Structures are given as C-alpha cells and as structure tokens.
Structure 1
C-alpha cells in the first residue's frame, strides 16, 4: 500500500511488542508519538541554533569588538566541535541507561547555561571557553535520534530520524537569520552599542532552550510503553498478552523472567514462580494491549523482543558493538557527510564575504543560511527514499547502497566548488545548493541505516556515529584553519576524502552475521 495522507493526523498503527508507530502523525501533537516527534526535532533545532549562534556575528561584530584574528576565529570553530564530540560519546550510553528523554533534557539545560554567559567574554580565551561549553548542545543530536528510533518502527524509522534531524539541523541555517536580526534590532530599536547588543542577543536562545527542556520532561513519555526502567517488563507482558509465554523468551534481557538463581534450582522455587506471575499481572495492569495494533507473525514478534529492545550493556559488550565493521561503515560515512556540514557551516559566511564583499555581514549571512535551511527538505528526502528502497527490496543493503551513492555525488560537488572557486553569485550558490542536497540527504540515509545495526545498543551506535560526525567536523575545520582564506582548496580536499573513505567501506555487509533484530 502507498502513502495515505490520513496517516499525518490519524492515530498510527502500532507494533504490538514495543509500541512503536508504523506511521508518523505529524499533524497530531495530541498523540504521544506525534508529540515526541515534535519535541525531538524542535529541541534539537533550538540546540543547533544556539550551538551555531556565534558564526553569523563572528565575521564582523564580534571580531571587531574582541579584536580577533582570523586564526582565533578558526580556533574557536574547532573548539566548539570538540565538546560536542565528547558529549556525543557519553550521550549514547546515557541514553541506554537513563533513557533518551532525560538525557535530551539534561543536555539542553547544561548547554543553555554557557549560552547565557556569552556576554562575559572579553577576549579570545573567554570565547574559546564559552564556545567549548556551548558545544554541549550539539550532543543533543544523539538523544534526539535515539528517542525518535524508540517511537517509530523499522518501516518509517528512516523517515522519522531524517525529519527530526533535518528539521533540527535547520537551526544551523535559521541562526544566520535570527542572530543578526536580534543584533540589528537591539542596535536600532533599543539603541544599544554593538559591544552590548551582540552579548544581549545570546539571552534569547537560553530562554527558549530552558523552556523547551522543562516542557519536554513534563509532557512527553520515555518510551511508547511508559517508563524507561520498565521497557523490558512491558515487552514481556505484551508478548504474553498475545499468547507467547515468558518461558519461550527467557533470553530477552531485563525481562520479568530474568532473576538471580538461588541454590541449585535453575527455575526457582514455587514462591519465585508466584512472584513472576504477580509481576506479570502488574505489568498487564500498567501496559495492556495497544489500540490500532499492526498484524505481526509470532516469529516477527519474538525477533523484535529479542533483538530490538535497548539493553544496558556492559563495558565489554559496548566495546564489541563499537569495534565492528558495521559500526565503522556508518561512522566513516557520517564522518564525511555531517563532518563536512559542520565545518562548512562555520566558514560559509566568511567564504561568501571573501568572494562577495559587497553583500556585507547580513547579506552573506542570509545566503549562508541557505546551506543549513536546506536540511528541512534534503535530509528528510534521504530518509524517505531510504525507507522506500527498504520497503521495495526488503533488504538493508538498499539503504547502504543509497548512503554511498549520495556520498560520491557529494564528493564530486565539493571538488567542483573548490576547483571553480567562483565569484559569480549564480554559479557559487548553485553549486553549494547542489552539494547541500546530496550531503544532507546522505545524512538522512545514514541515520536510516543506523537503527538496523545493533538495534539493542541503539544509544551506543548512535552516539559513536554522531561523535564521528563531529570528529569529521573537527578534522575538516582544522583543514580550513591551516589553509587560511584558501577556502576553495579546503573544499576539494574534503571532496577527495569523502569519495576515498566511502570506497574504502562500501564492501562491508550492513548487518553483522547472525544478528536477530534489525533485518
């Protein structure tokens, strides 16, 4: 069956095991799946806006006020990515342990505080420190994607992840409109000096981020089945409600059948069995069956229970997930695509100002905003096409091939931009728009593939992949840093790296051999 427009507002069909939706009720914020969807993208969008609030004002206002050199600005761009790299590595396991909603809210609040303190900066050292701690906000991408993955099933998870991330990433474009507009308003309407205006402007994202984090906790659930700590209990009860006895699924980690063995009796005493029955009864009262359940075979339900419920892994298990070829694929591809996006987003306004000085800070900022704003369409496009390819073929390979295809075209565009280094508005803006389309679609396709790889450790693999995207941003930002104003050369170098890395990992299977879930 094709797409039905009514799915945009109707209560979605639900996976009977884990409560994940099989459609995205974008126009229904009263439905819990629709509500989580909107909080996920908006929370990440405002975080991204604050994270990249400096670049639109750095080229002129802040640079002049703090008497910064171009190298000091480049250093601050690199430092802003470093904290995010570290936070994303930590956020993945935190999501698996405490749940993505709580991790999301904490990340937003902790990252909002240094945003409010931007006005205390008096020199390059202060700029480095504030941008480092504001970089915490970039780590919100991980809980955003893990939360989205937890609420939407395999048939639409690529679309949901691409929409939440794409609309969130648009904050990197919106900030090029918002921050100069706030700055200009404070100068013209409130008659503040430039020295004061740019400092006061950073209070706005702080207020919005704090409000979003608080309402997120108050209005949204951890999982479709309730509390994060009870997710395994809910899955066990849902299986039993559909006639699949707990004894058949004893290998589901953390279920009500997982109890320490006492003495030599493996199954436990009669009192243990009675306790299990009582706990099953409690779970039934709390969770029950879902409305609008999808029809699934017993084998599919067992596979979802055994392989797709997030577990709290040990350190050894986490390492085994991180150091697999499949994790390397999504991490390497995201290193190229999102890494390039981050680095380019930091310098694009300055690049345009160099090639088109008559546009000024506000004019070049508006054109640079196009790059980030295209995420509204391009990243979702990659996720949607990826889901369609998966649905048509039934194979995860289709998603993987799409990731590499987008990357190769992106690399070609990056090389073209660098070699042409155009001073023509139409040529430069056209090439950047073409590059942005395939680069951002590749990001969407990548996080359409991620939920299939080690789904029971989705937080860890999302964190590692997201962190590698930031690592790519740092490496590419260093390239821009040491090439100074030779932006064109940096572009074609990034293009060559993108093509080379994707060719290096294109042969690896998308899912580990013998993996139960994610297929």
Structure 2
C-alpha cells in the first residue's frame, strides 16, 4: 500500500471525539479491552468450571495452553489480512466471530467441548495486532509510538479487569435468581454478546485510514496494492529485523504474561503471603498498564525526535536490558519489602519495553505494517509459552523430589517442603529468564535502518509537526 500521512493525527487529543483518528483510537482500545476481558474471562471461574465439568489437572492446564496456542497462529494470520482488507473489516469479523466461542463456552457440557472453545477463544487475542495496525495508520510519526503504546496498554487492562469484572457480572445475574453454580456460564455469555456488539460499533463508526477505507481508496487510485502480494510477504519475513523484534517482544510481553501468571504462587511460597494478598499485589501491578506502556511509546517517540530511528532502537535496547537486570535481582530477593519494590520496577520496565517495541515496528516496513505487527505480536505468546514450560518443568521436578524426600514426615512437612522447592525452582527460572532478556536487549542493537530510511523518517517527522513547508513548483 502507499503511504498515507497527509491527515494523520499529530496529537493524541483524547477528547476530540469528532476527529476520525481519536474516535478510532477509543473504539479500538475499548474493543481490545473487551477481547482480553473475554479471552481471560473464564480464569476467575476455573474452580467452578473444574467442579462443574469434572476437569482433570491435565485438562485444566491444556485449556490454558490451547488458548495461548490459538493466539499465536491467529496473530500471524491477521496481520497479513489487515494489509489486504484493512483493519476495520478484520476487527469487525474478529469481534463477531470471536464472540461465538465465548458464548459457547458458557454452554459447554463436557471437558472436550470446553477445550475446543478455549482454543477458538484464543483467536481473539489477535485483536492486539489489529489495534496496533489501526493506530499506526491513524497517527503521524511524531506520536505513533505513544498512540500504539497507550491503546495496547489500555486494552491489556482487560486481562486484569476481568478478575474483578467477571465476578461482578456473576453476582449481578445471581441477584436475578440464577443459581450460583450456573453464574459463570451467564457471565461468559454476556461477555460474548458485548464483543459481538463491539463488532457492530467497529463497522459503523471507524474507517481504515483518516482518508477513508481501503476499498474506496483503491478504487480511486489513492492506494496501490502490489499485485504479487505473496511475494511481498516473503520479502517481509526475510527481513532479519522482524525476527529480532519477535525475540524482543517474546522477552517483554511474553515474560510479563508468564511472571504474572506464576507470581501469585511465588509470593505465597516465598514470602508466606495469603492468596488474596498475593493476588491483589499482582493485579495492582498489572493495572500499571494504564500509564507504563504509554511511557515506553512516549519516550520511544522522544528518542526518535532526538536520534532518528536509531534512537528508538537504542531506547528499546536500554529498557529491555534494564528489565532483565531487575528480574535477575528480584529472583535473588528474600525480603518482602525489597521484593515488592523490584516487582514494581519490573512492571514499569517490562511494560515500557513493550511500548518501545511498537514505537519501532511501524518503521520496519510501511508497506506491510499488518504483517510485521502480526509476526512481532505472535512473538509475545511464543515467549510466554516457552517461559511457562521452563518454569513448570523446573518446578515439577523440584516438587516431586521434595515430596519423595519427605515421605513419612507428615502432610504439613511435605507441604512446606514442596512450597520451598517450588519457590527455589521458580526463583532459578526467573534468574535464567532475566539473563536471557538481558542478552536479547543486547541483540536488539543489531536492528539497523538505512540512510534512506532515516531521511524519510526525518522528513515525515518534520511534516507531522509542521516544520516542513512544501515548496510550490
């Protein structure tokens, strides 16, 4: 596609609802929020689901793995579709079709049905890619990093807000006379219906670019689509920078998902916190997405103004390296107060690294923003999957050894030994992951832009802030 910079927003004026970019920003952020809300909506109800459907521990873990796996493939596919059909149609269909397995999840009667629904629910995690593509098309180079980071951060809140929101929905339906054991089903159905309605809103109240939709722009000749789209995609995946960013996003967003997914138990086992206390701590840090990811995009834009595209890469490398150092330090902490301090710093740095990543992504290949965003976004889920496997394998081995070594000493002694073994294993896992993140931060420095790319970016930046006045011929 051709560059469409003429009417992109140069400011993130959140109250200018009449402006197409701002209206799109709000709708895509809310849609992303609802997708994540529905994607992880079943998590607060898992004890009820296990009891209702008779899930085995393996089936419970398999449902989590399936949800993440489905997202990887969906993200890889949806980016390419955005380049071809535009983010408006892609998001509309994703919301409407994604609502179906969410609703069906509330109607399942067998473990197999539940697992199938979890697999297809994971597809709505691809909403992240469309959100990044749409904001990239709506905002100018001087603000695109901030816009991308803010929309992604606010959307990610859905993955934490459901821990409060879904139980509230369940409580509301119970108030209307629904049996408590059935409340989780109604909550999932309601979440699915809201996703479907957001699809309707997306279709009628957004457009692909500030100038119009892809279809109309191609008809008028304002946008040119390469005839050999498949060859273009092969050229995209041949760019080494995309795969470095794939690793980078695996090392920030992927690690954030894994750390927050295991942190409740780690805080309980290491610092002897109550489950509710540990859960609230983790939830409060997840809520830092309100501002932390935005900071990453904001400073990415600032470094872009100061040092060009290379400046964006330098800032990304710095934040990722800092994130790894903080995680390594946290893994060796035995004090609850220091632990909380470093967990705050980890939350801040990892989310800023995520924002910084997508302040670089829009400049890799402007003719295939969707494909690039899809590949990089999929890296986050791959990273989460691999990190979870590492922690689970180390923890399982340590716990089995502890149980075997303490046989005959009583249930309390075995539980204590098992908790200590799990804590040590996860601590070692965090340490290893932190080292890998630091190495990835160094590898990120290998991302380079040509002199021509830097010149084009500088010109577009000047245009977006009104510093370059066109000369009439």
Q: Secondary structure at the match of 2:306?
A: helix
Residues 426-435 or 139-148, more deviating: 426-435
Q: Choose which of 245, 251, 272 in structure 2 pairs with 1:336.
A: 251
Q: Give the one of 446, 452, 458 matched to 2:357.
A: 446
| d(CA) in 2 for partners of 1:98, 1:387 | 28
Shift, 1:132, TM fit: 1.1
Contact 1:175 1:369 in 2 (8 A): no
SS in 2 for 1:420: coil
State the alpha-carbon separation in 1 of the partners of residues 136 and 451 from structure 2. Answer: 22
Q: CA RMSD in A?
A: 2.6
Compared CA separation, residues 413 and 182, structure 1 to 2 (3 A): farther
Question: Residue in 2 aligned with 1:374?
Answer: 288
Does the CA-based 8 Å contact 1:113-1:206 persist in structure 2? yes
Q: Structure 1 residues 161 and 16, CA, compared in 2 at 3 Å: closer, same or farther?
A: closer
Q: Report which stretch shifted further, 94-103 or 19-28.
A: 19-28
Deviations 1:398-427 (A, max 9, x none): 1101111111111122223333366x3x44
Q: Could you say which residue in structure 1 is the equivalent of 2:399?
A: none
- Asked if 1:430 is matched to 2:341, the reply is yes
Match of 2:438 among 494, 499, 502: 499
For residue 407 of structure 1, the aligned residue among 308, 320, 323 is 320
Give the CA deviation at 1:99: 0.2
1:347 aligns with 2:262: yes
Greater share of residues in helix: 2
Aligned pair count reads 427
Tell me the distance in 2 between the aligned counterparts of 1:350 and 1:73. 17
Contact 1:332 / 1:502 at 8 angstroms: preserved in 2?
no
> What is residue 281 of structure 1 aligned with on the other side?
none
Task: Select 2:232's aligned residue among 317, 331, 342.
Answer: 317
Alignment partner, residue 147 of structure 2: 160
Note if 1:384 corresponds to 2:315. Answer: no
State the TM-score, normalizing by the size of structure 1.
0.76
1:461 is the counterpart of 2:448: no
Q: Distance in 2 between matches of 1:409 and 1:325?
A: 24
Structure 2 gaps of 5+ residues are 397-421, 459-473
Contact 1:179–1:201, Cα closer than 8 Å, also in 2: yes
Task: Name the CA distance, whole Å, in 1 between partners of 2:167 and 2:268.
Answer: 15
Shift of 1:358: 6.4
Q: 1:66, 1:123 within 8 Å by CA — same for their partners in 2? A: yes
Distance 2:452 2:113 in 1: 51
Unaligned regions of 5+ residues in structure 1, if any? Answer: 1-14, 237-252, 255-309
| Shift in Å, 1:85 | 0.6
Q: 1:118 to 1:411 in 2, by over 3 A?
A: same
User: CA separation of 1:475/1:61 partners in 2, compared to 1, >3 Å: closer, same or farther?
Assistant: same
Secondary structure of the 1:154 match is coil
- Cα distance change on mapping 1:16 and 1:43 into 2, 3 Å: closer
SS at match of 2:367: helix
1:31 to 19, 24, 32: 19
| CA displacement 1:436-460 (0-9 Å, x = unmatched) | 1100110001001111111111111
SS of match in other structure, 1:116: helix
State the 1:79 CA deviation. 1.4
Alpha-carbon separation, structure 2, partners of 1:512 and 1:110: 41
The structure 1 residue matched to 2:200, chosen from 214, 217, 220, is: 214
Superposition pairs of residues 246-265 of structure 1, within 5 angstroms: 254=224
* Structure 2 counterpart SS, 1:316: helix
| Offset, 1:490 | 3.0
CA contact (8 A) 1:89 1:463 kept: yes
Secondary structure of the structure 2 residue equivalent to 1:37: helix
Q: 2 CA distance for matches of 1:62 and 1:404?
A: 42
* Deviation at residue 388 of structure 1 after TM alignment: 1.2
Aligned to 1:130: 117
Q: How far apart are 1:121 and its partner, in Å?
A: 3.7
Residues 264, 275 of structure 2: 8 Å contact kept: no
Aligned-pair CA distance for 1:123: 5.2
Would you say 1:396 and 2:396 are equivalent positions? Answer: no
* Aligned residues of 2:313 and 2:444 also touching (Cα < 8 A): no
Q: Secondary structure at the match of 2:12?
A: coil
